[in-house]
Amino acid sequence: MSHARRERWIAFLMVLPSIILIAIFVYGFIAWTTTVSLSKWDGVEPDYTWAGLENFKQLFTKEGGVSAKRFNIDLWNTLFFTVLFMLACVVFGLLLAILLDQRVKGEGIFRTIYLFPMALSFVVTGVVWQWIFAPGTSTRLRGVNALLHAVGLDALRWKWFTETNEIWHFHVALIPVIIAAAWQLIGYTMAMYLAGLRGIPEELREAARVDGASEIGIYRHVVMPLLRPITFSALIVLGHTSLKIFDLVYTMTGSGPGFATDVPGIFMFETTFQGNHYAQGATISVIMLLMVALVIIPYLIYTFRQEVEL
C-alpha cells in the first residue's frame, strides 16, 4: 500500500463513524419524516397509506379550516419575526461592536456583559421576559407596565404580548418576543463583528485618512464592505435560529390569543404530540425544513465557492 493511499484510507475511516451517524440520524429521519408527511397517519397507530400532497393542501387551502388559518398566521409570524429579529441583532450588534472597538476602558467587562445572555437557555430567557412583559390589569400593573406607570409614562402602556391587533399581517404582540430573542443574540452578533473589526488592518484606515476620508466615510466605504462576509454568516446563524424558534416562544407566550405569537414549531408540537395528527405534524416539519434550506443552501454554495477560490 502506498503511503498516500493509506493516508486517504485512514482519513476515510476517521470520518466514517460520523458519516454513518449523520446518514441515519439526520438524512434517515428526514426521509422518514417526509414519508410520514405524504401518508394518512392520523392517530397513534402508524398508517403509511399514500396520501400524496393532501396534507400540504390542507395546510394551504380553505379546506383545512382552522388548521389552515393557523398555519397561515404562523407563516406570517415567522416572516416578520425573522426579518425584525435579524435586523435588530445586526444593527445593535454592529453598533455595540463599533463602540467597543474604540478601545474603551474595561472592554473585557462590557464584552462579557453583552455576551452573557447567550449563555442562557432560551427557556430561561422566555420565562424571565414573560415576567417582564406581563401586562397586568389596570388595578394591578405588572412588569414594564408598572415601571412605565411609576415614571408617569402611562401613555406608553399596552397589552404587550397579549395584544391581538395586527398591522397588515404583522401581529404587534410579536414585538416583545423579538426584543427577548434579540436580547439573547445581540451579544453573539457583537462578538462576531468585533472579531471582524479587529481583523481590519489599521493601515487601511490610515490610508483612507491620508486620502482625506472622514471617520464616517471610513466606516461606510472601508469597514462595512470588509465586514460583509461576517454579516452574511451572522444572518445565516440568526436566520435558521428564528425560522426554527420554539422554546423561547413556547415558554414566554405560547400561541397567544388568536395565535398572535404562534410559530410553526409550536403548531407542529401540539398537533403531533397532543392531537396525534402525525401526518400533519410531519408536513409542518417538512415545510420548516424547506424554509431553512432556502436560507442555508445559498450559504453553502457561497462558502463552497470561496473554498474553491482559496
Partner 1 sequence: MNKRKLWPLLSLLVIVSMLAVACGGEEATATPKPEPTEAPAATAAPPTGGELEIFSWWTAGGEADGLNAMYGIYSGKYPDVEIINATVAGGAGSNAQAVLATRMQAGDPPDSFQVHAGHELIDSWVVADKMEPVTSIFEENDWLDSYPPGVIDVLSYDGDIWSVPVNIHRSNVLWYNKAVFADNGLTAPTTFDEFFAVADALQGAGVTPLALGDNGIWAATHLFESVLLGSMGPEAYRGLWDGSTDWNGAEVNSALETYTQMMEYVNEDHAALSWDQAAQLVADGDAAMTIMGDWAEGYFKSIGMTPDVEFGYVPSPGTAGTFIMLSDSFGLPKGAPDRDNAVAWLTVCGSKEGQDAFNPLKGSIPARTDGDRSLYDAYLQSAMDDFSSNEIAPSLAHGAAASTGWVTAFNDVMTLFVADLDVDSAQEGMAQACADAGVCE
For partner 1, the binding residues (CB under 8 A) are: 10-11, 13-14, 17, 42-46, 65-67, 69-70, 130, 134-140, 142, 159-162, 164, 253-260, 262, 270-271, 273-277
C-alpha span between 185 and 119 (Å, rounded): 10
Q: Which is nearer to partner 1, 33 or 162 (CB)?
A: 162
Q: Specify the pairing of strand 170-171 against strand 166-167.
A: antiparallel
C-alpha span between 113 and 187 (Å, rounded): 8
Minimum CB distance to partner 1, residue 247 (Å): 13
**28-57 b/e with 16+ CB inside 10 Å = b?**
eeeeebeebbbbbbeeeeeeeeebeeebbe
- Nearest in space to 187 (alpha carbons), one of 93, 85, 87, 102: 93
Q: Which is nearer to partner 1, 102 or 274 (CB)?
A: 274
Q: Which is nearer to partner 1, 171 or 240 (CB)?
A: 171
203: Cα separation from own chain's centroid: 36
Minimum CB distance to partner 1, residue 181 (Å): 18
DSSP-assigned states of every residue in 247-261? HHHHHHTTT-GGGTT
Minimum CB distance to partner 1, residue 34 (Å): 19
C-alpha span between 97 and 91 (Å, rounded): 10
- Under 8 Å between Cβ of 177 and 266: no
Minimum CB distance to partner 1, residue 3 (Å): 9
Q: Which is nearer to partner 1, 247 or 270 (CB)?
A: 270
Q: Which is nearer to partner 1, 157 or 205 (CB)?
A: 157
Minimum CB distance to partner 1, residue 109 (Å): 35
Minimum CB distance to partner 1, residue 17 (Å): 6
- Nearest in space to 248 (alpha carbons), one of 183, 190, 303: 183
Q: Which is nearer to partner 1, 63 or 215 (CB)?
A: 63
